[in-house]
Structure 1
Amino acid sequence: MSSEQSDPELSETSQQINDLFDSAELSKAIETEEFKQFLDYIPIAIVVSKFFRGDQRICYANKAFETLFGQDTKDCAGKGWSILAGFKDENDSNVTLESAMLKGGEEFLGTFRAERPRPLIVEAFSGLIQNEDGTENYRIAALIDITDRARAEREEYARQIRDKDILLRELQHRVKNNLQLIVALIRLEARNERRGEKVNLQTLAGRIESLHLLYQALSNDAAGDEIDLGHYLSQIAAAVMNTCAVDGIRLDQKMDYAPVSVNTALSVGLVVNELLTNSFKYAFDGRGQGVIMIECLRQSDDRYRVVIADDGVGLPEGVTWPVPGKIGALIVQTLRENAKTDFNIETAPGRGVRVTMNVDRRAGEQNPV
């Protein structure tokens, strides 16, 4: 789904933009208005370069980059990573963001500062996209503006999270790994498009928004090593309602305070986003009204029940969800592997759909985000 407030954030949150860019037809998508529109949904500065004649050349920068750097993204096209040479590592002034990007790899590069007309401090992450033979093809930079957080404040923040090993790992990995998850979703969409299925950028943007909201929660000054799942799911529901709502369809919510790990929140949130979107789009086909219900209720101190249900038309006879090979299947697999959460769906033609997940508060702590 999103997104940040000076935050180590969004997560972007495996290998999916890979396939998107590695495909001969889809690599051209970056030149289309539709694809640019999609990239502009991402609320952090994204820059993409392509390996050309022995060098990396910028082939795209999104609107967030334009806003952050105050320059027309068209002026960057065809240039090298020298556009970032003015940024120096806060801990080693001999290292520039340009040199860090050229070094390659997929990792957190560090915190960089440029004086420019006004001081600008960014946290930089990079991702390398390779061809099938392992040679370099594309390189992605994600730049997060943390200027408004004073250095002393950031150092104190870092000191606090060093005392919490789980949170430290989350802070180091969440942006890269969540970006990788978005990449994986795009890759699967790209495969579907090559099979003749239309890619729904609005739905994909909704998934990014779920990550955006998680990033915001993690950036909250009061955030510890857990996220309130009830509040997070209510934000996702509001976002889906804002995008998909139609007259006559009501959304009912019941939310308890339900602290969980970041891994669990991310996995459950993506499933909930998918189910709510599907309900709004398909559950009431041919009907003028209906009810969608979402609840997150405490069963015990460490156990919660999440339910998403509608009183719509239900799945057609013989149809199951998620459909193997589709994005929904990838998202449910992530839920089972990362959050160790069970997933039960009940449906019948004309009797709606009801999905129940039993969430363990501690389940996602073992796998760093």
Structure 2
Amino acid sequence: MTGSEDQRPTPASVADLPNLAKALDDDRFRQFLDHVPFAVAVSELGQGERLVYGNIEFERLTGLHAEDLQGQQWNVLPSSPSVDGGGELAVALLENEEYLGVFSVRAPDAVRSVDAWSNTIVDDVGAPLFRLLALSERDRSDVEAALTQSLVEKDVLLKELQHRVKNNLQMITALIRMEARNAQRQEESERFGHLAGRIEALSILYRSLYGSNETETVDLGIYVSQIATSVMAVHAVEGIRLDMKVDTWLVSVNVAMPVGLVVNELMTNALKYAFAGRNGGEIKVRCTVDNDGCKILVSDDGVGLSNNADWPRRGKLSAMIVQSVKQNAHADIDVVSEPGSGVAVTITFKRENATAKED
């Protein structure tokens, strides 16, 4: 029953063998199964399904000896859930037939990746008699190649998704700015402008992540400088200068995001209100890093606040953003202002509170 090399049995072909009930009582057939190049195990159906056979390859793959299988149920199999996120092999073979998928088998000497098939053997009148399980070990190089291909495909899909999100953010920003220009009332226009600026700050952050191999960190200095440049371009006022100096430093996205939004808020407010009735002025932006941590400074030499408590105002979105900085980076925020002397807001946080945390 050995046949030629081209006619070697496959797991699927053994599962389709007729008259398995009779064949299992034949020692010659058992010897044949003992030497097929894949694992085979058989259970007898009926009241309380029990295993009755396992071949030599099954013993090698699973570490279970044939005599230890006798009378056991399928949950004796030392397998992990399928690699595609499905259930345990012992559950899958009871619920499905034909090809079951790829599973990890935890034998005492190694963890092996196997393809699994299951089939129910019936008698001449269709009554179920046996359940057959066939396992074929995957070559490690094949497994690694499949995993690599899967990762490549997922990476392509992720980059496509990132590209679409980036484009959508830019389109949303453009639409909001268009609505702001068409707004009938000045108050409506300002609200639209503030919203567009916040979305643009997030879009810049997303572009920073999309353009690098990092997914958890962003260069805070570069991010702050990009936001400052963007705000100046959108709300440019003749005679207003930007004095900017930044140090580069990688920080957690959860820190960079609210810091960038605060910088956007402060610069937008300064360009709109700080220099009312004046011919010019200066906005200063600093991102300085030392051994202790980082300081972000946004200041202007404009008209100033009547009261330091005027920013951020309770109940406003800017107050929520400031609170996010305090929570995510354990930051201290200092607001200094006097009428006619401008506004200076300093955000200070320690180095250990700004790095990406591992799960």
With normalisation by structure 2, the TM-score equals 0.47
By relative contact order (CA 8 Å, sep 6+), the higher-ranking structure is 1
TM-score by length of 1: 0.46
Q: Which has the larger radius of gyration?
A: 2
